[in-house]
Structure 1
Amino acid sequence: MSTETPVLEARGIVKRFGHVEALRGANLTVGRGQVVALIGDNGAGKSTLIKVLSGVHQPDAGEILIGDRAVQFSSPVDARREGVETVYQDLAVADDLSVAANLYLGREIMRRGALGRLGLLDKRAMRRGAAEALEQLGVSIPRVTIPTGLLSGGQRQSVAVARAVVWATDVVILDEPTAALGVVQTQRVLELIARVRDAGMSVVLVSHNMPQVLEVADRVEVMRLGRRTARFAAGEASTDDLVAAMTGALATEPDDGEAHAK
């Protein structure tokens, strides 16, 4: 195991909703420049954990670390300020806005001087920045002025991922990024995830698709019943290993609740 400080770490996260304990001491470790897949059956706690890491929910116990600093996220704005961006399954792109406007949504560039103080946007600068960002990430879009709603599902997903990558400094969390996409569109999104990783960004990938996980991830962390119960190097695991860990057929280590692929 590497001794390098993780770029993002969750330790002993507990989250309750009334009498339901959704997270029961959950852990997650994300190394720099890694794609870490987070998997588990429905109800395992994956969605709750990423919502804690993205500031949507506040934990009842445990801590979140960015590098070696403990941080507290009271809202998604706090998480973004710390360099953690999240792309949820519903994308949250504005279909009626252009690709460029979506990339700068909430972070618009204002015109200089008095025009900017009057609230006028520097649309040319945003178009230029969007085109450069998409080119660097290898995202193929007809033009950045096209309304996002006219794009294919894979292109819309790529725009959402690109927006997160542009503004993240540490980690991009992707919640089921290939759900409801066709084969070709799915492959393009997976290739984009690999390019993001190769550019030095860390990615947390939440997915139910085991073959995709093994294709793109460097490491897989398995959740079951609100806790991390197993960790694998993706190159040393099979789909059967992952399913066994998800269902509890794989025995866990009693000292820290983790099982490691041999």
Structure 2
Amino acid sequence: MVPVTATPLLALRSVSKRYGAVQALSDVELKIHAGEVVALMGDNGAGKSTLVKVVAGVDPADKGIIEWEGQSVQLSRPRDAQALGIATVYQDLALCDNLDVVGNLFLGRELRRFGILDEVEMERRARDLLSTTVSIQIPNMRARVASLSGGERQTVAISRSLLSEPKLLLLDEPTAALSVRQTAQVLDLVEQLRDRGLGVLLVSHNMGDIKAVADRIAVLRLGRNNGLFDVGTTLQEQIISSITGATGDAVTPRAPDLGKAEL
């Protein structure tokens, strides 16, 4: 478990975001440390996707403070987040089905030699990335992505994000619509990333997946903080109560160091 005194990779303080008349986020707080998996949970409309977009620089926050490694930063566009070391894998994966694995991994950052694509070097690096960095084997690196299984497609999307050597990875529903075996493959990859010292924000509705890999669970409800839980010591009923808005003994205690619920 990450020491509570360690400087977090990312800290959000009183972050808010509005879309017209809809207040999507209200004074949200979140901390993610290196070598930690924080799961983000909440019902539909809780603000999870909006929070991911804020951190990824896609939809800048209206107000609040965002700190990166202890320093206040502005995330006004995706390039700002990427420059800091924040990578995002969205639920739709954003893969090109008509391209092969190598082509997808290096899309937009192709390697060239003497002015032409260096296919040999890109394939070599792709194999090295998959076999050593994420310990995954895809038999045919020249197979079109459309022919891959759901788990293999998710692996390609995550691996592509790792080419920039990020410090924080945002994963939006990475196991949605995957089989049990494919889900296990993706969760193993998440654990590998944590063991390598990356911070991971895992957005998911699947309690089993979260209990398997997450260190802490942050809950949003109606765009607000509604609980922070330690996975190893919290009953599942407490977490579900926080998600659904139940009150009473099921509500988690507030984190002491921020003076308010820390996510």
The answer to whether the superposition gives a TM-score over 0.5 is yes
TM-score scaled by length of structure 2: 0.92
Quick one: which of 123, 126, 143 aligns to 1:130?
A: 126
* SS state at 2:176 partner: coil
Show the counterpart of 2:88. 86
Q: Is the contact made by 2:18 and 2:25 (CA closer than 8 Å) also made in structure 1?
A: yes
Quick one: which of 46, 51, 62 aligns to 1:49?
A: 51
Q: Is the contact made by 2:8 and 2:32 (CA closer than 8 Å) also made in structure 1?
A: yes
Unaligned runs of 5+ in 2: none
* SS state at 1:97 partner: coil
Unaligned runs of 5+ in 1: none
Return the letter of the residue paired with 2:224: R
Structure 1: 4+ residue segments shifted above 6 A: none
The structural deviation recorded for 1:74 is 1.9
Return the letter of the residue paired with 2:49: S
Q: Is the contact made by 1:84 and 1:168 (CA closer than 8 Å) also made in structure 2?
A: no
Instruction: Note the 1:200-211 alignment, pairs <5 A.
Output: 200-211=197-208
Query: How big is each residue's C-alpha offset from its partner over 1:70-115, in whole Å with a ceiling of 9 and x where there is no partner?
Result: 111222122111110100000101111111121111221121xxx3
Q: How far apart, CA to CA, are the structure 2 residues paired with 1:102 and 1:256? A: 45
Instruction: Note the 1:186-197 alignment, pairs <5 A.
Output: 186-197=183-194
2:232 corresponds to 1:230: no
Return the letter of the residue paired with 1:58: P
* SS state at 1:246 partner: helix
Return the letter of the residue paired with 1:85: A
C-alpha RMSD of the superposition: 1.7
Instruction: Note the 1:212-223 alignment, pairs <5 A.
Output: 212-223=209-220
The structural deviation recorded for 1:9 is 1.4
Return the letter of the residue paired with 1:130: A
Quick one: which of 94, 97, 100 aligns to 1:95?
A: 97
Instruction: Note the 1:143-222 alignment, pairs <5 A.
Output: 143-222=140-219
Quick one: structure 1 residues 122 and 259, their matched pair in 2 at CA, closer, same or farther if it must change by over 3 Å? closer
Q: Is the contact made by 1:80 and 1:168 (CA closer than 8 Å) also made in structure 2?
A: no
Range that drifts further, 83-92 or 136-145: 136-145
Alignment coverage as a number of residue pairs: 254
TM-score scaled by length of structure 1: 0.92
Q: Is the contact made by 1:55 and 1:77 (CA closer than 8 Å) also made in structure 2?
A: yes
Query: How big is each residue's C-alpha offset from its partner over 1:153-173, in whole Å with a ceiling of 9 and x where there is no partner?
Result: 110011111111232421010
Show the counterpart of 1:12. 14
Query: How big is each residue's C-alpha offset from its partner over 1:139-181, in whole Å with a ceiling of 9 and x where there is no partner?
Result: 1201222211111111001111111123242101000000011
Instruction: Note the 1:58-69 alignment, pairs <5 A.
Output: 58-69=60-71
Q: How far apart, CA to CA, are the structure 1 residues paired with 2:111 and 2:65? A: 35
The structural deviation recorded for 1:257 is 4.2
* SS state at 2:163 partner: helix
Sequence identity (%):
45
* SS state at 2:112 partner: coil
* SS state at 1:29 partner: strand
Return the letter of the residue paired with 1:43: G
Query: How big is each residue's C-alpha offset from its partner over 1:185-227, in whole Å with a ceiling of 9 and x where there is no partner?
Result: 1111111111111111111100000111011101111111212
Q: Is the contact made by 1:229 and 1:259 (CA closer than 8 Å) also made in structure 2?
A: no
Q: Is the contact made by 1:44 and 1:224 (CA closer than 8 Å) also made in structure 2?
A: yes
Q: How far apart, CA to CA, are the structure 1 residues paired with 2:111 and 2:234? A: 45
Q: Is the contact made by 1:229 and 1:257 (CA closer than 8 Å) also made in structure 2?
A: no
The structural deviation recorded for 1:253 is 4.1
Return the letter of the residue paired with 2:73: V
